[in-house]
Chain A
Amino acid sequence: MESPPTNTLGVQRRMRSYRIEGISRAFYRLRQSPLSLLGVGIIVGLFVVAVFAPYVAPYPQDAYIAVHFERAFHSPSWEYPFGTDEAGRDILSRVIIGSRISILIGIMVLCVAAGGGVPLGLVAAYRGGVTENIIMRIADIFLSVPPIALALAVTAALTPNLFNSILAICFVWWPWYARIVHGKALSVKQEQYVEASQSYGAGWLRIAFKDVLPNCMTPILVKATLDMGWAILLGASLGFLGLGAQPPTAEWGVMIATGYPYIPEYWWLTVFPGLAIFAVVLGFNFLGDGLRDVFDVQLEMR
């Protein structure tokens, strides 16, 4: 039997790094939970549909220019599984193509909010003093206002459209990330390896991003997954109120709003887009819930 490899100091070397082993162990536990797998399935399905949307949708033109008033308000049938809307457009196609917008909202919000909030939180934790106070007070003020109300106010101040609504949601979201990272970074700061880095003269920037950040990743990851769902929900809510994507864009929230005057006779205009939102957010929540169990993270819920 071959003896395990040793490094120059004669200490046993691990086959894989500790971190990678931790992650693979976590994913093993994740695989055990059927709900999480279901969540992953839904999310993967969503991404596939969104990427291949024009090929998957039976009447892709209906999501853009085409109108067919002569076949308006057809109830769900084999030809139009989700029925047709007030302009005769196939609702299934619009829902499929609408998934692109929802994904866009989710990804953009995460990138900007996390991309902005995380560094801010790190800087606040590491620099301390006045910088910390200013950043965290501003975060507090933003956190004091209910998220949807703030998103509303910002969108209304600017012209209501998809881009501005994404901007508004980012505005609302970044403080959460800042706060989480700030809290975790504060505790990590005390750890020995940070002291070690400091001792051999690493600048605070390097320490912050190389030592502290990777250890904050787990709560960020869990929150990001859950947040993707919330961002999509918030985007759809703004669309429903007419402050996000604008009609006739095939966005799920907008479709529900346009279909609302026609209930209950033409119920399919509102039911199916909402079902899509529900399914997608559910998927993210299943996965996020599973991840949270796996990483056993203490998180603020909102």
Chain B
Amino acid sequence: MKYRDYLLRRLVLVIPTVFGVITLIFVISRIIPGDPARLALGPWAKPEQVQEFRHVLGLDKPIVVQYFDYIIGLFKGDFGLSLTTKRNVLNDLLDFAPASLELVTTGMALAVVIGIPIGVIAGTHKDKWPDHVTRIFALSGVSIPQFWAGIILQLIFAYGLSLVAPNGRLDINLLPPKHITGMYTIDSLLTGNWETLRSSINHLILPAFALSLASISEFARMTRSSLVEELGKDHVLAARVNRIPEFLVVYKYALKSSFTPIMTLIGLDYGFLLGNAFLIEMVFLWPGLARYGVNAIIDKDFNSMMGVTLVIGIGFVFVNLIIDLLYGYVDPRVRLRAK
């Protein structure tokens, strides 16, 4: 089928999936036991106050009505009241999302910058000791429990060597830079605030690295296998015969063909990192979306839970969509199979 048709089909399928995610999480959040209104008002609240607050939260309406109220509210920008922060969940999401974005993007960048060269080394020295070492490295990176890796890194680099900060986003006595994107590193750079810049990088390194561990392995392995495949091809042989230096052969001729799978892996991993950032956020006390979400679940703050899962879930859906579209563009067989 034509690519345009495939595109349309795929886009249309997104809508029921999104609604499915919303409904699933809504159902889960409403069956959580406990009365959120009671908790928010504290121990001395009288039953009438609790009733009134329940009314304010809309909890006394039938669940179907609540569902539609919520959906409509979403379109108006009203994500409901968070019980822990006592404000519109949308504000919370806007506050915490840039933090998570900063973390995940840095983690992704580290994964690419470290993982690909490792993969290249492994690929060019196939079956020799660098390859084996890299393989063990890669498998370790994927096997290590992320939260534990974070703790070990803290022990060594923050507490042991005092090189970097163990937790948080910024030094205690510094105020955040002016809010432009919400990402401290970029904002400090843009406002020329060097002390804040240094502090935010100091705090960002460890969690980003811990987050990237599994992805480094992924990139290394993928680069390696793709490179190995390419290096066996004829055009590479031809380049070698023509005495083109090995360095060029690898980077210019072989690696470039690996470009597409690398891009798709970046996309895939981005979604993966977004979903897995919260263990890192918990250990490093990074005030991001994931940590906000986990605390919402633990504190049974149903609106916050919905908000966070919505953002992450929908983000995931769109990332998958983009991957599929890319695949569809690149590989015609995918389009045909989808018929």
Contact = CB atoms under 8 A, between A and B. Distances in A.
Touch between chains A and B, by CB atoms below 8 Å: yes
A140 B297 contact: no
Interface in B120-142: 135-136, 139-140, 142
A192 interface: no
A146 B151 contact: no
Interface in A255-302: 256, 260, 263-264, 267, 270-271, 274, 277-278, 281-282, 284-286, 289, 301-302
B271 A154 contact: no
A51 B291 CA distance: 37
Bin chain B's interface residue count. 35 or more
A282 B298 contact: no
Nearest to A39: B139
Interface in A179-203: none
Contacts of B309: 145, 149, 153
Given A156-B300, A274-B145, A285-B142, A146 B274 contact: yes
Contacts of A260: 151
A141 interface: yes
Contacts of A229: 143
B194 interface: no
A137 B16 contact: yes
Interface residues of A, number: 42
Given A137-B16, A152-B294, A278-B143, A145 B313 contact: yes
Contacts of B271: 146
B143 A282 contact: yes
A282 B139 contact: yes
A241 B298 CA distance: 9
Given A141-B17, A141-B24, A286 B139 contact: yes
Interface in B37-66: none
A289 B40 CA distance: 50
Nearest to B151: A270
B28 A237 contact: no
Contacts of A152: 293-294, 297
A157 interface: yes
B148 A270 contact: yes
B17 A147 contact: no
Contacts of A177: none
Given A141-B21, A242-B298, A302-B272, A148 B278 contact: yes
A281 B145 contact: yes
A95 interface: no
Given A157-B31, A285-B143, A148 B151 contact: no
Contacts of A114: none
Contact of B148 (A145, A149, A256, A264): A256
A149 B21 contact: no
Query: 9 tightest CB-CB pairs across the interface, nearest first?
Result: A146-B275, A274-B148, A264-B159, A141-B20, A281-B143, A156-B297, A282-B143, A285-B143, A277-B145
23 contacts: A137-B16, A145-B25, A146-B316, A148-B275, A149-B278, A149-B309, A153-B297, A157-B28, A229-B143, A237-B279, A241-B279, A256-B151, A264-B160, A271-B152, A271-B155, A278-B140, A278-B145, A282-B139, A285-B139, A286-B139, A289-B139, A301-B218, A302-B272
Given A153-B309, A237-B147, A274-B145, 14 more contacts: A140-B20, A141-B17, A141-B20, A153-B28, A156-B297, A157-B28, A157-B31, A157-B32, A237-B145, A237-B279, A256-B148, A263-B154, A278-B145, A289-B135
